[in-house]
Amino acid sequence: MKKNKSHRFKTTCSYCGVGCGIVVEQDAKGKIRVEGDAEHPVNRGMLCSKGMNLHYVVSDHSDRLLYPEMRWAKNQPRQRVSWDTALDRAAAVFKTIIDKYGPDSVGFYASGQCLTEEYYIVNKLVKGYLGTNNLDTNSRLCMSSAVVGYKMALGEDAVPASYEDIELADCFFIAGANPAWCHPILFRRLEQHKEQHPEIKIIVVDPRRTKTCALADLHLQINPGTDIVLYHAIARYLIEENLIDEAFVQNHTDGFENFKNFVFQTSIEEAAFICDVSVSDIKLAATYIGNANGFISMWAMGLNQSVIGVDKNLALLNLSLITGQIGKPGSGPLSLTGQPNAMGGREVGGMANLLSAHRDLANPVHRQEVANYWGVPSVPAQPGLTATEMFRALREDKLKAVWIICTNPLVSLPEAGIIEEALKKARFVVVQDISNKADTLQYADLILPAAGWLEKEGTMTNSERRISYLNKVVSPPGEALPDVEILCRFAKKMNFSGFDYKRTDEIYEEHARLTKGTNIDISGLNYEALQEKRSIQWPVPALGHEGTPRLFTDHQFYTPNKRAKILSPASVHNQSEPVSPEFPLILTTGRIRDQWHTMTRTGKVNKLKQHLGKPFLEINPLDAALRDINDGDTVEIVSQRGKVRVNAVVTTDIKTGVIFLPMHWGKILNRDFGRTNNLTNTLVDLKSKEPDFKFSAVQVQKY
């Protein structure tokens, strides 16, 4: 129908875990414009460069997948087919493989970009109806170490603090994160707070001098992998100087004496040497923290993407626990989620080792509760394959088929060479995506076009447990369908009975009811309430409930005895791939300001390419001089697994012995040119299975 007037809708940005509110205006000709939602509690009208340019991504269909396609054989070209033909084939192949090899011979790999309803449906489909826990997501690459850390220390995957605590705190410890580029609106709030209160203290811990450091009172430029040594040295000084909250420790925690003995095994001088920072800076950081009225720690992939990522998380959480800086205004751990809905995915149990509504997969009573709710005999007990395990299993033909939803593993997973071999070897690959540029498409047997942002409705949960409703504003192009519809149509082709939804809100309410009585209870939420409020923080246990900005205000934690655990790691030392004379440099990877993940969306916006349009290597002048490398030279970076060629940026912003590559670029000129994950390794944290992206041994030479 022809529109004769403009419309305004409110929704949420689909990029990062900050979760900014957006007003979308569609004019009479259907043209889309976006602006920050001035009434939204997260961004108060502000948007970062990615958010501001979202309308270009929506309006430009030139790169979109428009109809289902199929390869009748691996070496055949893609051919357009109908949805019925595509899903009949998917169902026939999955049935055949499962009948022959069992349910664990298939796997689903989804995304922290998926909406909660999509996560819920794929989780129910895979764990309840297909009968395998082989459902993992790229959240494994993002927050899984933080999840395990929270569960071990606080008894639940539950972020205690809120963004509103930022304006109430007077000391910030930002570790392994560059919010100036990766969580810009949150950083803007921190900047404003510092502008109004110059006396507040900001400590940044990072081997790189990032843009975030410009705001820091203290930058601790540590050696990669020495984070726990640093946090323990800070803890030791806090204890020595009586800057801890003894009453809180005594009344609400377990494990302090063990921890104290542990941290006193290393002197502050030894720690300073290991970390390559000064003793006085360690003491200064501890003094800032110990004298704070409100202390907030923020962290992201620099801690999580580590072979000892969980222990790093625990060591950082300990700083909040021994100072009693949790569960009160202006305090608490506040992990910064990378993806917009990694937390929503965890709420529905959408990972290989999780169960719906934060229930415990290892608990047979919990499994049966979920099975009964879904109307299936059981949910499998054995955790499924995680992201890296899934592709290794494909390569070894233990997994026969994979269904990839809204993610581009050929660029984003570590050791890209293995992922490429795995996809070549896989018997059947389904790629469900919006973009015709996803690198993984070249190995797809079946391609399913999905609807994107503004083309479907649903919900997401941001880093502070805030659930937002996302509006459908426009129709998807061509024959693209919302992901929930694709998955439900497939389920029906498999003759599964539990997928007959008429509307998306029925899926949401089914998920919400399943949370009743749990620590993440949102049984008081439905679309009507969300559309009225726009966003609300869980738990929301009853209709009309105002949401919960801050957890643990009563200091009752979610552990069996209600006390938080101060845990000491088995070892403080890094377990990453060692450097060697052949590979003497440490490669760390990360994001740049204006690109998102593997650039399938941001890469098509010219304005966003103007910031940093090509991949690059950051190298310290001393390391560059040793290799006769000048700024702008083409260099080749080599690891045991592969190589990458980019231009060098010679800068003192990075420590000697460390180099940095952005992770975004994949298929550019040729695969050796900029695909960073040619170099990274598949070491993972044993507890979280999160890969060690921040530490690979490499060599660099002039090309």
Say whether residue 235 binds ligand SF4 (CB under 6 A). no
Give the residue with the Cβ less far from ligand SF4, 50 or 675.
50
Give the residue with the Cβ less far from ligand SF4, 232 or 591.
591
Tokens at residue 253, please? 């925690």
Q: Least Å distance between CB 423 and ligand SF4?
A: 29
Tokens at residue 159, please? 């972020």
Q: Least Å distance between CB 342 and ligand SF4?
A: 13
Please give the Cα distance from 224 to 420 (Å, whole number).
29
Question: What CA dihedral angle connects 157, 158, 163 and 169, to 10 degrees?
Answer: -110
Of 181-189, 297-305, 479-487, 509-517, which part binds ligand SF4 (CB under 6 A)?
Answer: 181-189
Residue of minimal Cβ distance to ligand SF4? 51
Give the residue with the Cβ less far from ligand SF4, 14 or 515.
14
Task: Pick from 184, 224, 383, 524 the residue near ligand SF4 by CB under 6 A.
Answer: 184
Residue burial 504-514, b: 16+ Cβ < 10 Å; e: rest: bbebbebbbeb
Q: Least Å distance between CB 48 and ligand SF4?
A: 3
**Among candidate residues 49, 186, 113, the one with its CA nearest the CA of residue 592:** 49
- Count interface residues toward ligand SF4 (CB under 6 A): 14
- Could you tell me if 544 and 526 are in contact, meaning their C-beta atoms sit under 8 angstroms apart? no
Please give the Cα distance from 245 to 243 (Å, whole number).
7
Of 10-18, 72-80, 418-426, 638-646, which part binds ligand SF4 (CB under 6 A)?
Answer: 10-18
Of 177-185, 521-529, 646-654, 656-664, which part binds ligand SF4 (CB under 6 A)?
Answer: 177-185
Give the residue with the Cβ less far from ligand SF4, 48 or 567.
48
Q: Least Å distance between CB 50 and ligand SF4?
A: 4
SS3 for 695? coil
- Contact characters 35-64, ligand SF4, x per CB under 6 A: --------x---xx-xx-------------
Q: Least Å distance between CB 693 and ligand SF4?
A: 20
Q: Least Å distance between CB 596 and ligand SF4?
A: 7
Task: Pick from 115, 130, 185, 336 the residue near ligand SF4 by CB under 6 A.
Answer: 185
Say whether residue 18 binds ligand SF4 (CB under 6 A). yes
Q: What are the contacts of 610-616 at 24+ separation with CB within 8 A?
A: 611/49, 612/662, 614/646, 614/647, 614/665, 614/674, 615/644, 615/646, 615/661, 615/662, 615/664, 615/665, 615/668, 615/673, 615/674, 615/676, 616/646, 616/647, 616/648, 616/649, 616/661, 616/662
Q: Least Å distance between CB 340 and ligand SF4?
A: 7
Tokens at residue 11, please? 């929704």
Q: Least Å distance between CB 444 and ligand SF4?
A: 28
Give the residue with the Cβ less far from ligand SF4, 132 or 459.
459
Give the residue with the Cβ less far from ligand SF4, 228 or 434.
434
Query: 172: which strand partners?
Result: 202, 296
Give the residue with the Cβ less far from ligand SF4, 124 or 591.
591
Which residues 565-594 are close enough to bind ligand SF4 by CB under 6 A?
Answer: none
Of 9-17, 158-166, 367-375, 568-576, which part binds ligand SF4 (CB under 6 A)?
Answer: 9-17
Of 141-149, 183-191, 542-550, 649-657, which part binds ligand SF4 (CB under 6 A)?
Answer: 183-191
Strands (E), 198-265: 201-205, 218-220, 253-254
Say whether residue 19 binds ligand SF4 (CB under 6 A). yes
Give the residue with the Cβ less far from ligand SF4, 395 or 466.
466
Q: Least Å distance between CB 183 and ligand SF4?
A: 6
Give the residue with the Cβ less far from ligand SF4, 166 or 243.
166
Phi first, then psi, for residue 189 (nearest 5°) are -65, -40
- Contact characters 349-368, ligand SF4, x per CB under 6 A: --------------------
Give the residue with the Cβ less far from ligand SF4, 38 or 626.
38
- Could you tell me if 194 and 200 are in contact, meaning their C-beta atoms sit under 8 angstroms apart? yes
Say whether residue 20 binds ligand SF4 (CB under 6 A). yes
Q: Least Å distance between CB 591 and ligand SF4?
A: 11
Give the residue with the Cβ less far from ligand SF4, 453 or 557.
453
Task: Pick from 10, 13, 233, 548 the residue near ligand SF4 by CB under 6 A.
Answer: 13
Tokens at residue 509, please? 């309410």
- Could you tell me if 491 and 499 are in contact, meaning their C-beta atoms sit under 8 angstroms apart? yes
Q: Least Å distance between CB 504 and ligand SF4?
A: 22
Report the first-to-last Cα separation within the chain, whole angstroms.
58
Walk across the sheet containing 32-36 and list its strands.
7-12, 21-26, 32-36
CA distance to 354, 377, 393, 453, 643, per residue, from 107 (Å): 15, 20, 10, 25, 29
- Could you tell me if 453 and 60 are in contact, meaning their C-beta atoms sit under 8 angstroms apart? no
| Residue tagged 């309430």 (tokens) | 529
| Residue tagged 């404003």 (tokens) | 192
Please give the Cα distance from 240 to 380 (Å, whole number).
49
Q: Least Å distance between CB 323 and ligand SF4?
A: 29
Say whether residue 16 binds ligand SF4 (CB under 6 A). yes
Q: What totals of helices (H) and strands (E) does the chain contain, helices first?
A: 25, 26
Residue 650 parent element (H or E):
strand 643-650
CA distance to 288, 309, 655, per residue, from 277 (Å): 16, 21, 12
Q: Least Å distance between CB 163 and ligand SF4?
A: 11
Give the residue with the Cβ less far from ligand SF4, 336 or 567.
336
Of 16-24, 92-100, 239-247, 477-485, which part binds ligand SF4 (CB under 6 A)?
Answer: 16-24
CA distance to 148, 157, 301, per residue, from 143 (Å): 9, 10, 8
Q: Least Å distance between CB 355 and ligand SF4?
A: 29
Q: Least Å distance between CB 55 and ligand SF4?
A: 12
Residue burial 591-624, b: 16+ Cβ < 10 Å; e: rest: bbbbbbbbbbbbbbbeebeeeeeebbbbbbeebb
SS3 for 610? coil
Sites of contact with ligand SF4 (CB under 6 A):
13, 15-16, 18-20, 43, 47-48, 50-51, 183-185
